[in-house]
Each structure stands twice: as structure tokens, then as C-alpha cells.
Structure 1
């Protein structure tokens, strides 16, 4: 069965899934394989739960009624998404970057949804599987689509662009993320810039911050839309407050580092003719979730939970912002940063030196990488050590910053802070 025939089956309901635990009626089940699982083995279960067909690539699981045998399930999923994209009339905005992708995506989405039927990447479905699934979640009713693209090596963004075929693009920043896979900061810049290269090659358009010289340089031959010049930062202690077109926006986002994320959402809203009052309303009502700069008020402690992910660039701005907050009683809990390769030792020591320089009342470094650093403050090699220490030494009346890579799971410490 070729991709056109599979598309006819898909377009009856516009439903696909790769997880039998989430199967919906009349969905197409794609039996993906990974290091520790083989989706082909679950094809019959998917059908029993309501899937109309299961796309498989191992003949022993094939029957002529409910399975479709293909050469490679993942490639078929990607090809189906690519084919679907060609049928969509929706305007697609792609975004990538080292920090702030998800917050930016959500801000753009809430702004554009004030005027358009809009859909965006859910969660962090932003890789070679997530982007196809995102596109296949779009129906012909969508007018705008926001597609987040993540990458940890060269040519990945280029490949994702070949599937999503974006009309517009935006790169949040070039930072110290995934250094191991990209081969250093220059590799990050090269890899992320594949989005701009795609836009240039296909005569599409980039949104850029005119104050970022590197962004200006990388979009030299591209159609560009610059940030609205009327957008001005007023305050960020702790919540970002800004003005645009004589309007004042008071947000639920902390830290001046979120200014650019808000500014591009405003700029995109203006460009697509969303009313100023609607832009203001959308941004003021947006509250971050999922461990991203969440404000949590406990009985005696005020917590900034930013434990969804971390790299040296995001750690630096989070610490600098936290240091500016008014309070003598501050505690920082930092967890290891992953995927730094040979740069891990020097980057962790840099963060330790920076955090130590602020002389917070309490500073805790958690993880094997931080344990190798030199510091005057507390080092704990594992989360369990942190848990034991906090249980024996309760934190009281503190402003607390919690930040670390996803794999550290530092949000668990909330269970032991009152």
C-alpha cells in the first residue's frame, strides 16, 4: 500500500497514535520500534482497543484485514506527515532554539488563537517522531499551526523542516545546549541555523530580534520581520512587565530572559492582525506549567520551579534573575546539566562559581557532575541525599530556586518542602 492509499485511510478521521495506552476509536496505529520496545507486538492489541488499522514492518504480525505492512514504520509516519502537510492550508510557524522554545510556542499559540483556529505542538513532541505526530494532529480546519523543533545534532532541523515545510520561522537563541551532539557552541549555531537556511532557500520569512547581531547575520539573505519597536521592558522583579503600542502588559512570567519570548509573540500577533487588546489579554492570562518557571507558594516558602530542563545558558540567566529578587533569605537547588560531553566539567564549575558569587543563604548542588566541582557550598551526589538532607534540615521562610535537567527530576523535592 502506497502513501496515497494510507492517506485516504488517515483522512477519514485524522487520527494517528503510537501508544496502545492512548488508542482512540478509528485511529491509525503506527507500530514504532525503540531500543526497549517493539510496537509490532502490540498491533493486535491496538486493533482490539479500536484502531482501524495498524501500520507494521514485521511480516510475522501481518494479516490481510487490519494490518498494513510497510518497509519502515517510522519512515512511513514521516512520509504521511509530509504528504499531509502538502494538503494543509494552514500557515505553519516553526521555532527552535537553545532555550525558551516551549514557553515561546505557548505564548504564540494563545495570542494567535484569539483570532484563528490554531493548533501547536503538545508537550515536547518536537523531534523526528514528535514533529510528524504534531502535523498529523492538524485537521483541514486549522488556520495556523505552531511547530516546535528540537535537535541535538547537525541536519536534524533541516530534516524536520523538510516535513513541516514552514512558512515562517523563529529561533529563540543560540546557547550552550546539547553541546555533546552538536560539537560545541559553533555546532549549535550551525545546527539551529538550518531553520533560517531552509527559509532562505524556499523564499519564506523569519521573525528576528534586531538587537541580536548573530540573528541578523544569519538572516542576511532572508525575508525578515523584526520585533515590534514599540515593545519595551518595564520591569522583571519578579514578573515581566512591558509596554507595546501604548499598552501595559503585566505577565505571570518571571525573569527578564522571558522578555524576548513575549516580544516575539506580540510581534507575530501584530503581524497577523490580532487586536492589541486581545494580545494583551492572551499574554496576561498565560501561566507557565509543567515545571517551567512555575511560582509555587508553600506554607512558609516561595518557590520558583524551573526543573523541566537546564543547560549552562539557561542556568546563568535563571541565577542572575534570582539574585535580583528582593530577599535576604534565598535558597538555590541546582541539579546536573546533561548532554554537555567533554564540556561538562568546565561548564558545571562555571555555574558553581557564578552561584557561589551571589552568596545565597543556602546553595545545594545535586548530581555526579556538580559533585566533582570545587565549592564552599553543599554538594549532594544524588537526589536521595538531597531528600535526606532537606528532611533533617527543613527550609523555612525562603525564596527557593529549583533548576536542573529533566533527568534529575528535582521537582520531587517539593514533597519535602513546606
Structure 2
């Protein structure tokens, strides 16, 4: 079945589904394959649960006219998404980067939705399946689409751009994330810069942080709309930024007080301001949008529990974001005699894992006024014999020790990769 014919069936449906547990009435179900499953086997079940049509790529499961047979279900989903994007013809903003993608996407959406009907990636559905699903959620009422793109190896961003065909792009930063898949830090820069390559080749516009020398250099000969705090030669000048612990931005004569912790979020906020400015959202509405944004899902959340102030940043971690979180934590002005940090292993670092974990440990050896609890095998294998550092090979052994601490009136940082699930620490406080 050709993409145009499949599109006629898509227009008859109310939504897209790839999981039989989440099928809505009159949806179009795509039977995708995974490492341990073949959704072709669920085709009949999808119809029984309310799907209007099912896209399959195994003729053995075609039992009726509502079974739409294609050579490859995943490719059909991706091609359909590209076709739909072209049919709508709306402006699409793509963003990627090592850290802060989802927070920045949410901020951009909050700002632009003050003036436009926007549709953005839900959560972090930012891969070869999530991007097509985001594009297919756009409607004729959507005025601006915002697409988050994630990647852990070369050519992935280029492929996602070939589907989304963005008019604008933004890279949050180049950090030490997914080093194993990208082949080191230089590989990260090359892989993420595939967004710039697409924009340049297609004469589209990049939003660029001129305070980042790598991004400044990579975009110097392409269409760009820029912002900076330290660099005056830009389109949008951010006057100042501070965080104690919430980020405050001084912009165009006004203070914008966010609910985001960590000075590293200043760039994310500045990008949202810049993109709002480019799309002619008023300064008043930009301020209202940023001040009204409340982070969730373990991302830079400030919580209170049993007299303790807790910075919960347990959604993800890599060497760059870990160092930024620690630096911000150390500079916070607090009244207590010492702070507490619970730091979990950083995943997907490959052969550089031991070195990167050891760097984090060594950077804290001489710090005073802080008790640090390292959780996970990688930190445990990098342990140092220092009185204010405690190392635990697993969360269970950490739990046995930390449960007896019962901190009061302390400021506590919780930071680690998603797989560590360090939000469980909240139960111990």
C-alpha cells in the first residue's frame, strides 16, 4: 500500500496507536516489531478494542479489509508522518541536545502557546517512533509544531530531520551523554550537529546560544537567530541570570522568576524567550509563560519533606549534567551546617565510564560542608577514602544505611540516571 492511500485511511481515524493497551475508539493501529515481540500478533486484538484500521506487515495476519498490509509497518508510520507534515505545511521547530531537551521544549511550548495554537512532543517521545507520532498529532488547527529529537548514535538526528523537515532548529548543548553510542564527545558534537546540517542545506534557521563557542562557530555561515548573556552581538540580549535556588532572568527591563532550579536552566529559559521574541510573542506574555511553568517528572523539582528542602533531578544524568547540578548545589546559600547529596551512577558511557565517574568523585574530595552518598557500581568502583563520602554498590545497601540518618532541616540533592530510580530516596527522608 502506497503512502497516499494509507493517508486516506489515516484521515478517517481519530488517533494513532502502537500499543493495544492504549487504543482509543476509531484509532489507526500500527503493528510494530520490537526485540521481544511482533505486534502483528495483536492485530485482531487491536480491532476488538476499537481500532478502525490496523497496519500490518505480515500477510499471515490479514483477515479483513480493515487490515492494511504494507511492506514494513515502521517505515509506513514514518512515511505517513512525513506526508502529513507536508500536507499541513505548518512551521516546525526541532530541538535536540545532550541536556535539557524536554525542559526547553516545555518552556518553548509554554511561551508560544500564549499566542499560537501549538502542538509539542508529549513527554520525551523523541525517537524514530516518537517523532512520527508527534507529527501525526498535528492538525489543521496547529499553527506551530514543536518536535523534540533524541539520539544515541550517528545519523539518527539526520534521519529524524528527514521525517520532520523542520523550518527552525535549536540545540541545547553538547555534553557527555551517550558517549558509548556516539563514540566519544567529538561524536556527540557531530551527531547532534546533524540538525544544523539539515537546516543549512535547506536554508532554514537555527536558534543559537552565542555564549557557546562551539555553537557560535558551527552556525557562523548559516541563517540564525541568536541570544546571549555574555555576548553583546546578538538578536536577543539576556541582561543577567541568577539561581538561588530558582532561576531569575533579567530581560528587557524585567525580572522573570521561574520555578526551575539550577543556573544551567538559565540557558533553557533564555532560548524560550528568544524563540518567543522571534515569533513576536509580547514580553508580558513571555514573562507570564515562564513564571507559570512548573517542572515535573523528577526534572529539577524543588520539594519539601519533613523540614528538608529537596532538589530532585533523578530523571537522567551524564557527566555534563551531573557536574552542572553539583556546581549549582554547592553555590546555594543555606543556613544549615552541611548539605547532603545523593548521586547515582551515570549510564551509557561505555569505555569512558570509569574515568567519568572517577572525575566526579575527585571533584568533590576537598569540598567542605557536604555529605555525599554515591549509589551504584560505577561510583563504588571509583570510591575514595574521604570521611564526607559514602559509597554503596546498590540502592538496597544505600537504603539500609540512609534510612537511619533521618535528616532534618537539610538541603538535599538527588541526582542520577533514570535506571537508578533515585526518586526512591524520597521514601527514606
TM-score, with normalisation over the residues of structure 1? 0.98
Q: Superposition pairs for residues 18-417 of structure 1, below 5 Å? A: 18-227=18-227, 228-327=235-334, 328-375=337-384, 376=386, 377-417=389-429
Displacement of 1:360: 4.2
Report the equivalent of 2:232.
none
What secondary structure is seen at the aligned counterpart in 2 of 1:215?
helix
Displacement of 1:66: 2.2
What secondary structure is seen at the aligned counterpart in 2 of 1:256?
coil
Q: Deviations over 1:244-301 (max 9, x none)?
A: 1112111111111111101110011111011111000000011111100001101221
What secondary structure is seen at the aligned counterpart in 2 of 1:296?
strand
Displacement of 1:188: 0.4
Displacement of 1:309: 0.2
| Aligned 8 A contact 1:14 1:137 in 2 | no
Unaligned stretches of 5+ residues in structure 2: 228-234
Q: Deviations over 1:26-52 (max 9, x none)?
A: 110011111122211111111111100
Q: Deviations over 1:384-414 (max 9, x none)?
A: 1122222223222211000000111111121
| Aligned 8 A contact 2:13 2:28 in 1 | no
2-structure distance, mates of 1:65, 1:200: 44
Q: When the two structures are aligned, how many residues end up with a matched partner?
A: 417
| Aligned 8 A contact 1:269 1:279 in 2 | yes
Which moves more between the two structures, 344-353 or 219-228?
219-228
**Root mean square deviation, CA, Å:** 1.2
| Aligned 8 A contact 2:13 2:52 in 1 | no
Displacement of 1:202: 0.2
Q: State the 4+ residue runs in structure 1 displaced beyond 3 angstroms.
A: none
Displacement of 1:220: 2.2
Q: Deviations over 1:313-365 (max 9, x none)?
A: 00001000000112233110011100100000000000111233323432111
**392 and 168 in structure 1: CA distance in 2 versus 1, 3 angstrom threshold:** same
What secondary structure is seen at the aligned counterpart in 2 of 1:357?
coil
Displacement of 1:233: 2.2
| Aligned 8 A contact 1:154 1:190 in 2 | yes
Unaligned stretches of 5+ residues in structure 1: none
2-structure distance, mates of 1:351, 1:299: 29
TM-score, with normalisation over the residues of structure 2? 0.95
**300 and 31 in structure 1: CA distance in 2 versus 1, 3 angstrom threshold:** same
| Aligned 8 A contact 1:57 1:70 in 2 | yes
2-structure distance, mates of 1:292, 1:190: 27
What secondary structure is seen at the aligned counterpart in 2 of 1:395?
coil
What secondary structure is seen at the aligned counterpart in 1 of 2:343?
strand
Which moves more between the two structures, 32-41 or 195-204?
32-41
2-structure distance, mates of 1:344, 1:302: 31
What secondary structure is seen at the aligned counterpart in 1 of 2:138?
coil
| Aligned 8 A contact 1:230 1:243 in 2 | no
**219 and 234 in structure 1: CA distance in 2 versus 1, 3 angstrom threshold:** closer
Which moves more between the two structures, 89-98 or 349-358?
349-358
2-structure distance, mates of 1:254, 1:157: 29
2-structure distance, mates of 1:349, 1:303: 25
1-structure distance, mates of 2:42, 2:86: 30
What secondary structure is seen at the aligned counterpart in 2 of 1:288?
coil
